[in-house]
Structure 1
Amino acid sequence: MVRRATALWLCLCLAGAGAALPARADSGVAEPDGYRMEHYRAPTPDRLKGAVVVDTPQAAALVEAGKVLPVDVLPRPEKPAGLKEGTIWRQPPRDNILGSAWLPNTGYGALSEPVERYFRTALERLTDGDRERGLLFYCLADCWMSWNAAKRALALGYKRVFWYPEGTDGWIAAGLPLERSEPVPAE
């Protein structure tokens, strides 16, 4: 009942022109003009111009109500350098918020042309071209990659962009369920 009431409150807030959700506690980190280009695991700003910043209860309500597509941008780990010849290496599993699309490596400040195209075309496919589709970007707590990816989605013309700075760390701390995930394949 509480989650449904929260979801209704969010819907009403988002329906209003210029309405915004309450901001997080002030981190003292300024919002940069461009993308964060290095030191991605560091305290993040409290806002992202054009996006709605949500905490864990708000993110959970949006996901539960089906109002957003959760998008994880955490990088996929690369095979460690220097492994002994013949060593079998397996990608570690990634558990995500239910219903998430995992677009790894798309939260860096500067993207190569193939990764930029992957991000753009994957969002296009996942939203069926609907720039009004709600997108909830996240990775981990104190991770600029989700901030960068949300900013990039805004630049691509997506209108309902949500940024969840607590990411899976906040989700796990709240005892919310996760599911095993694989990256969205390139076209």
Structure 2
Amino acid sequence: MGISRPPVVPLLVLLALGACAQGSVSPPEPAGYREENYRSPVPLTLRGAVVLDTPGLAERLADRRVLLIDVLPREPPPPRLAPDNVWMPPPHEGIPGAVWLPNVGHGRPPATVLAYFSDSLERLTAGDTGRALVFYCRSDCWMSWNAAKRALSLGYRHVFWYRDGIEAWRAGGHPLVILSPFGEGAK
């Protein structure tokens, strides 16, 4: 009589599937804006918006009427910078053709940043709330999710969210360029 052994291969397959599923868990959409832990897993969806992957973004960008918006925050100066020292932030890389609206993706931005966001969208779209807007920042970054949600609340009807962010764009072999903040830039 042989010794009974558990089926190893099916068990390994189940363990591997469980590990994959565990690593790719996305949270549900919150009712409001994300206000903390901005660099953490993001939802798969954004109610009212279309979620784009890298090929989808590349296809959208072929349409020159699409407005691509980078919402990654501006790099802050070092906390103990002497008053007589000049702060030179590092260059900000973004997707070619994007407009950089820094700091507009926070969950509760100050009124000045909210005004900068809405005024910038108004200027960039010439008041056309039907203009297609694509928001992005980094992978697993809630700031682009928040900004896209905020654009929807301002009445923009064709909002897209590039969920995978600049890292996926770069990994797809696409170029990056140096961007400067639009207008005065949210400080």
Q: TM-score range by the shorter chain?
A: 0.7 to 0.9
Is residue 2:82 matched to residue 1:80?
A: no
State the Cα distance separating 1:85 from its structure 2 match.
6.3
1:133 maps to a residue whose letter is R
Preserved contact between residue 27 and residue 46 of structure 1 (Cα < 8 Å): no
Query: Residue 98 of structure 1: SS of its match in structure 2?
Result: coil
1: CA distance, partners of 2:83 / 2:145: 38
State the Cα distance separating 1:84 from its structure 2 match.
5.2
Preserved contact between residue 27 and residue 44 of structure 1 (Cα < 8 Å): no
Look at both structures and tell me which one has the larger radius of gyration over its CA atoms: 2
1: CA distance, partners of 2:25 / 2:130: 30
Q: TM-score, normalised by structure 2?
A: 0.82
Preserved contact between residue 122 and residue 186 of structure 1 (Cα < 8 Å): no
2:125 maps to a residue whose letter is T
Preserved contact between residue 68 and residue 136 of structure 1 (Cα < 8 Å): yes
Q: TM-score, normalised by structure 1?
A: 0.82
**Greater alpha carbon shift after TM alignment, 163-172 vs 137-146:** 163-172
Query: Residue 169 of structure 2: SS of its match in structure 1?
Result: helix
1:152 corresponds to: 150
2: CA distance, partners of 1:116 / 1:85: 28
Is residue 2:124 matched to residue 1:111?
A: no
**Which residue of 75, 87, 90 corresponds with 1:89?**
87
Structural RMSD (CA): 1.5
**Which runs of 5 or more structure 1 residues have no equivalent in the other structure?**
1-25
Query: Residue 94 of structure 2: SS of its match in structure 1?
Result: strand
State the Cα distance separating 1:83 from its structure 2 match.
3.1
Superposition pairs for residues 1-187 of structure 1, below 5 Å? 27-83=25-81, 86-186=84-184
Report how many residues are paired: 162
2:77 maps to a residue whose letter is K
* Residue 113 to residue 63, structure 1, CA distance change in 2 (3 Å): same
Q: Deviation string for 1:73-101 (max 9, x for gaps)?
A: 00001111113565443111111111111
Query: Residue 152 of structure 1: SS of its match in structure 2?
Result: helix
1: CA distance, partners of 2:184 / 2:129: 20
2: CA distance, partners of 1:83 / 1:28: 38
Q: Deviation string for 1:157-182 (max 9, x for gaps)?
A: 00000000111111101010111110
